[in-house]
Structure 1
Amino acid sequence: MIAESLRVRWQRARAVLRQCRADRRGVTIVEFAMAAPVLIILLLGIFDLAQMAYVSAALHGAVQRAARDSAIESADTATQDKFIETLVRRAAPAATVTTKRKSYYDFANIEQPEAWNDANNNGVCDNSESYTDENKNGHWDADVGKSGNGGANDVVVYTVDVTYKPLFPIPWVDGSGNNRTLSASAVRKNQPFALQGSKGSAAGTCS
């Protein structure tokens, strides 16, 4: 009698298990729950890259235009800087925009040091080595450029750095919420609206 009861219960249990195994209701939700986190992270990553590409395109276009408009005599560099800031913030609200202008006598001088007698061949003006103060600031410079928009016929390197927080930071990824930083530069030669200033020729000595 007991054996018969156990046999009946076992058959019922097997029937229930077969029904559960055959029942496909709700399986889609389980599969979606497994795939959703991956899909969400993928979408956020795509949105992050898309915003970065948009900001970069806006930044580079604005820098080229501002550099071109700053090459004339009546250029208002503050207005050009504000133009870039306004344009960039349409794509990246609250972005920090930093601008820098450095002028050179000609293209060959860009990011070059002032001429000096490097007697010890260490790449630095020191140990009473003599130099030519080409930018007329009273000391030797590893970059001969002068801060600002320069004068007539000067070559200007215009650099803009943008730092912003992404609109779609990727969750659960270390550093994903950190700021993004983009940079763009343009090189333009100022219009010949006057005679170009001469390079300095005074000699100096490095300590």
Structure 2
Amino acid sequence: MTALRTCTTLVRDLGRDESGVTVVEFALIAPTFLLLLLGTLDIGQMVYAQSVLNGAVQTAARDASLEGGDTAAADAMVLEQISGVMPGVELNTSRTSYYDFADIERAEQWNDADDNGICNDGEAFVDENRNGQWDDDIGVSGNGGANDVVIYEVEATYTSPFRVPFMREAWGARTLSSSAIKKNQPFANQSGYSSEAGTCS
């Protein structure tokens, strides 16, 4: 009977003992807390990186729109500004120029005899951008000339500095992109489009 009473007392005492409960609670809460903390830091870093990239791209596009603008120096400036925010960043840049804003993503003029939206089957076209073929986007690669409209696009690929637990797919390379549209200064006469004809095969 004494042994039973001792066991009952022991169980009662253990039920009232709260020492060590903090360790158990921490073990239950810590993974969720770390997930939220690192996830918040990761998203915050990505938003900040996007903001820095947007600002750098706008500045670079503006600098390149001036007479004698150096596109290589503008790209290098973008890389310099974002390299401190995006570890191991790699840039991929492109510039496409147009005669006017209305020409952005416009196809070269052609006689769409079969009404299929594609220049083919001997249909005649005007080689407005002078590259010897029909294009569904009249834009010319490069920074263009005086008074041309230029779309400057940048893709920045980097690895996130934060390793969010349970989200290994987010640990790899991440790509952010930004673009700016600027009109070059009118430092000379703007060259117009060609009127040379061609035929689609």
Matched to 1:57, the amino acid is S
1:143 pairs with 134, 137, 145, which one?
137
Match of 2:29 in 1: 35
Identify the residue that residue 181 of structure 1 maps to in structure 2. Answer: 175
Secondary structure of the residue aligned to 1:158 is strand
Cα distance between partner residues in 1 of 2:37 and 2:115: 54
Structure 2 counterpart of 1:38, which letter? Answer: T
- What residue in structure 1 maps to residue 43 of structure 2? 49
Shift of 1:22: 0.5
Q: 1:75 aligns with which of 63, 69, 81?
A: 69
Question: 1:94-134: per-residue Cα shift (whole Å, max 9, x none)?
Answer: 11111100000110111111111112222211111111101
1:154 corresponds to: 148
Q: Quote the offset at 1:174 in angstroms.
A: 4.3
- After superposition, what is the alpha-carbon deviation per residue over 1:50-86, rounded to whole angstroms, capped at 9, x for unaligned? 1101110100001111111111111110000000011
Deviation >6 Å, runs of 4+: none
Q: What is residue 193 of structure 2 aligned with on the other side? A: 199
Q: What is the SS of the residue equivalent to 2:170?
A: coil
Q: Distance in 2 between matches of 1:62 and 1:191?
A: 20
Distance (Å, rounded) in 1 between the aligned partners of 2:190 and 2:182: 15
SS at match of 1:55: helix
Q: How many aligned positions are there? A: 201
Distance in 2 between residues matched to 1:71 and 1:191, nearest whole Å: 6
Give the TM-score normalised by the residue count of structure 2. Answer: 0.97
Cα distance in 2, alignment partners of residues 91 and 123 from structure 1 = 44
| Aligned partner of 2:116 among 113, 122, 136 | 122
Partner Cα separation in structure 2 for residue 135 and residue 153 of structure 1:
16
* Aligned residue among 81, 84, 91 for 1:90: 84
Which residue of structure 1 aligns with residue 3 of structure 2?
Answer: 9
In 1, Cα distance between the equivalents of 2:88 and 2:170? 18
In 2, the alpha carbon distance for the partners of 1:129 and 1:174 equals 52
Alpha-carbon distance in structure 1 between the residues aligned to 2:173 and 2:37: 19
Question: Secondary structure at 2:52's aligned position in 1?
Answer: helix
2:97 and 2:148 in contact (8 A); partners too: yes
2:99 maps to: 105
| 1-structure distance, mates of 2:27, 2:117 | 61
Relative to the length of structure 1, the TM-score reads 0.95
Report how far residue 178 of structure 1 moved: 2.3
1:4 aligned residue: none
Taking only the aligned residue pairs, the percentage that are identical comes to 48
Q: Does 1:133 align with 2:127?
A: yes
Gaps of 5+ in 1: 1-6
